[in-house]
């Protein structure tokens, strides 16, 4: 019974949402919007559970003085402080919350993003090796594109930038579309398998 109820709910809502997609009538739209509102309400409850997990995990770390426990104090203090600042001072563009968001969180995010340059270099060095025919082709294509898009590219050959652009627009785009086709079918199949109750891994198993 514990398994059957979620399966029934999943089947019923899944089929209703497919039907809802086909009907433009306001009643159908109202139903779709209600389901979305339900999702928001459920997400709010889930957030309480998630924050509970965060507090419990870091609280335990601090209490038991596990390795690196001072970082947990930083996490919990930041979370509580930002919540109080947000609730007390609002989140308007000129509020303290926004100021902290734009001047602390945004630059920290940008810093993490910037690390990508370093990681790209080390990953390219490690993985771009001509181990096989396929890897050699990949390496050659990568070289042409990189050099073609650089200002130096035109000095090597005036046709190189255009060739690099062709690689991006034609073979690259074609393979991407091939993958996207597969992804689209996989998504549809997964959705239908779950709605029809064939896929039950999300419930822990087949029984």
Partner 1 sequence: MAFLLLIFSIAPPTQVQAIDKPNDAGSAIIIEWGFSKDDEAIEKYVIFRSTLPDTMRVKIGSIIRGNNSFEDDNTDDKKQYIYIVAAVKDDATFYSMPSDIVQSSPQFFNTGRTNILVCILVFIILLVFFVQRARMGKKLFVRKIPGLDAVEEAVGRATEMGKPILYVPGLGDIDWTATIASMNILGEVAKKIARYDTPIIVANRWSVVYTVSKEVVREAFIEEGRPDRFKEDYVRYLTEAQFGFAAAVNGIMLREQPATNFFIGRFWAESLIMAETGAQTGAIQIAGSDSVLQLPFFVAACDYTLIGEELYAASAYLSHEPLLMGSLKAQDYGKLIVFVILILFTLLSFFNIDLLHLLEVQ
Partner 2 sequence: MKWYEAISKIDRRIIYLLLTVFVILPFFVPFKIRQNIMPQTQRLFDFVESIPPDDKVVMISFDYTPQTMPECHPMAIALLKHCFARNIPVLGLSFDIQAPGLAVEAFTTVVNELNLKASNYDDSLFYGKDYVYLGWKSGFTAAVLDMGESIAGVFPRDYFKHPVDSLPLMQKTKNYKDVAIAIVLSASAYPEYWVLYPQSRYGVKVGAGLTAVMAPKYYPFLQTGQFSGMMSGMKGAAEYEHLIVEKGYTKKLGRAETGMNSQSIVHLLIITIIILGNIGFFFSRRDQKQS
Tell me which residues touch partner 1 (CB under 8 A).
Answer: 18, 21-26, 28-29, 39, 42-43, 46-47, 49-51, 53-54, 56-57, 60, 67-68, 71, 105, 108-113, 115-116, 119-120, 122-124, 126-128, 176, 179-183, 185-194, 196, 198-199, 201-207
Q: How far is the CB of 132 from partner 1 (least distance, A)?
A: 13
By CB under 8 A, is residue 29 in contact with partner 2? no
Residues 6+ apart with CB under 8 A from 61: 68, 69, 72
Dig out the tokens for 191 from the structure. Answer: 């959705």
Dig out the tokens for 136 from the structure. Answer: 């050699």
C-beta atoms surrounding 20 within 10 Å: 19
By CB under 8 A, is residue 4 in contact with partner 2? no
Dig out the tokens for 196 from the structure. Answer: 């029809």
Cβ-based nearer residue to partner 2, 52 or 90: 90
Q: How far is the CB of 150 from partner 2 (least distance, A)?
A: 5
Q: How far is the CB of 98 from partner 1 (least distance, A)?
A: 15
C-beta atoms surrounding 199 within 10 Å: 15
| DSSP 8-state class, residue 152 | T
Question: Under a CB-based contact definition with an 8 Å cutoff, are residues 10 and 194 in contact?
Answer: yes
- Cα-trace Rg, the chain: 26
Residues 6+ apart with CB under 8 A from 10: 194, 195, 197
Nearest to 47 by CA among 90, 83, 6, 11: 83
Cβ-based nearer residue to partner 1, 66 or 159: 66
Cβ-based nearer residue to partner 2, 45 or 118: 118
Among partner 2, partner 1, none, what binds residue 51 when CB lies within 5 to 8 Å by partner kind? partner 1
Among partner 2, partner 1, none, what binds residue 74 when CB lies within 5 to 8 Å by partner kind? none
Please give the residue ranges that form the binding site for partner 2 (CB under 8 A). Answer: 93, 102, 106-107, 109-110, 113, 117-118, 120-122, 124-126, 128-131, 139, 142-143, 146-147, 149-154, 161, 168-169
């Amino acid at each position: 019974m514990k398994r059957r109820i979620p399966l029934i709910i999943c089947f019923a809502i899944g089929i209703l949402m497919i039907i809802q997609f086909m009907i433009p009538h306001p009643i159908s739209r109202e139903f779709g919007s209600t389901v979305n509102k339900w999702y928001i309400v459920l997400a709010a409850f889930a957030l309480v559970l998630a924050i509970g997990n965060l507090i419990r995990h870091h609280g335990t770390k601090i209490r038991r003085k596990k390795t690196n426990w001072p970082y947990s104090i930083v996490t919990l203090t930041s979370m509580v402080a930002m919540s109080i600042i947000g609730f007390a001072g609002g989140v308007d563009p000129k509020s303290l919350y926004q100021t902290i968001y734009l001047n602390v969180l945004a630059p920290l995010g940008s810093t993490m993003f910037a690390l990508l340059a370093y990681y790209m270099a080390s990953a390219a060095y490690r993985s771009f090796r001509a181990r096989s025919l396929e890897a050699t082709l990949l390496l050659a294509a990568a070289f042409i594109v990189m050099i073609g898009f650089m200002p130096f590219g035109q000095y090597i050959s005036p046709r190189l930038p255009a060739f690099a652009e062709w690689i991006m627009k034609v073979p690259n785009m074609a393979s991407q579309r091939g993958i996207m086709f597969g992804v689209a079918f996989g998504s549809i199949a997964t959705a239908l398998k779950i709605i029809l109750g064939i896929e039950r891994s999300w419930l822990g198993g087949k029984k």
